[in-house]
Amino acid sequence: MAIKVIPISTGRPRAPRFVGGEPLDTLGRAMHDLRISVTDRCNFRCVYCMPREVFDADHKFLPHSAILSFEEIARLAGVFVGLGVKKLRLTGGEPLVRRDLQRLIALLKPLAVEITLTTNGSLLAKQAVALKAAGLDRVTVSLDSLDDGIFRAMNDADFPVAKVIEGIDAAAAAGLGPVKVNMVVKRGVNDAQVLAMAGRWRGTGHIVRFIEFMDVGSTNGWRMDDVVPSAEIIRMISARWPLEPIDANYPGEVAQRWRYKDGAGEVGVISSVTRAFCSSCTRMRLSTEGSLFTCLFAQSGHDLKSLLRAGASDEVLRDEIAAVWLGRTDRYSEVRTEQTSKNKKVEMSYIGG
């Protein structure tokens, strides 16, 4: 798919000098999180993210020369940290298919912020120890069902559940826990697995989070009828194991937290469809080829790579990034309509979930 990217240096003057302080966007939101997509490739073809009929054998992924090098990513991350970012999350595609990812983590470690990674877990068992040694703090693993048939159908790569659980266990043993286990819930597909998923992780110290099926990108066939509201999920779990709400860990946390009244841990729900959290969104996204996106549901991005490769100083990069954030107006989920949900949007595999 052709991605619309807006040059932020060509054909217009340099951005105004950033005067310092905490940059706030037009709605008063701070920038605390940067999600970095390190590859647009994935070894799964999950139906809600990279459906095989679109991302087939003929799909053209980005050539290596087009994607940011580890050194370029680390340099940009340093500029973001200077603007107030406190957490870096590595995403994809599937980040663990990018060769030598541990080297990037080692480059990011001196920035002294939290470094996390979201993965499908397929390669985690082999890499967990090295990831931890390089400086990774935590992992989030996507797992949409414990039923092997349902899971293989959803990942559309015939990959077994057991291998993902092996990866979760390896991550915990390596010190990358507690692991957050993300389940995208789609009505009529895997919603009958909610209680099984909650029960599997109760008492383990890990945290399962149930995510409403979202209209990310333009290829996953999203319909409101397929969304299982988070309130319904909480009612379902609480009827079996009573829950009570607890406070967020930090401002801007996307998951609503609930704990088991019997002390067996907690679950989370991410309600970006039925209970939008745009008003507290603190996230920026850096794509694989160095474009900056201010929203998961964006229709266009801002080119940083050209500026970076043209020899721009850190000060110039800082001013450009700050200008993008200061002008940010995104509140897609709060204003979602039947019509806007059909707008052409950037695919999640390109900018990370």
Per-residue pLDDT of 150-166, as tens digits, reads 999 999 999 999 999 99
CATH code: domain of residue 66: 3.20.20.70
Answer whether residue 95 is part of any domain. yes
3-state secondary structure 102-155: HHHHHHHHHHCCEEEEEECCCCHHHHHHHHHHHCCCEEEEECCCCCHHHHHHHH
| pTM for this entry | 0.90
Answer whether residue 150 is part of any domain. yes
3-state helix, strand, coil in the chain (%, to 5): 35, 20, 50
Answer whether residue 324 is part of any domain. yes
Answer whether residue 136 is part of any domain. yes
Entry field: residues in the chain:
353
Which pLDDT value is given to residue 198?
A: 98
Contacts for 323 with CB less than 8 Å, ≥ 6 apart:
8, 15, 16, 18
Report which of 157, 152, 142, 260 is spatially closest to residue 209, judged by C-alpha positions.
142
Tell whether the model's pLDDT for residue 2 goes beyond 50.
no
Helix/strand/coil for 95 = helix
Answer whether residue 17 is part of any domain. no
Answer whether residue 19 is part of any domain. no
Number of domains in the chain: 1
The residue range of the domain holding 163 is 5-10+24-347
Answer whether residue 352 is part of any domain. no
Tell whether the model's pLDDT for residue 73 goes beyond 70.
yes
Answer whether residue 100 is part of any domain. yes
pLDDT digits over 193-227, tens only?
Answer: 999 999 999 999 999 999 998 866 555 566 788 99
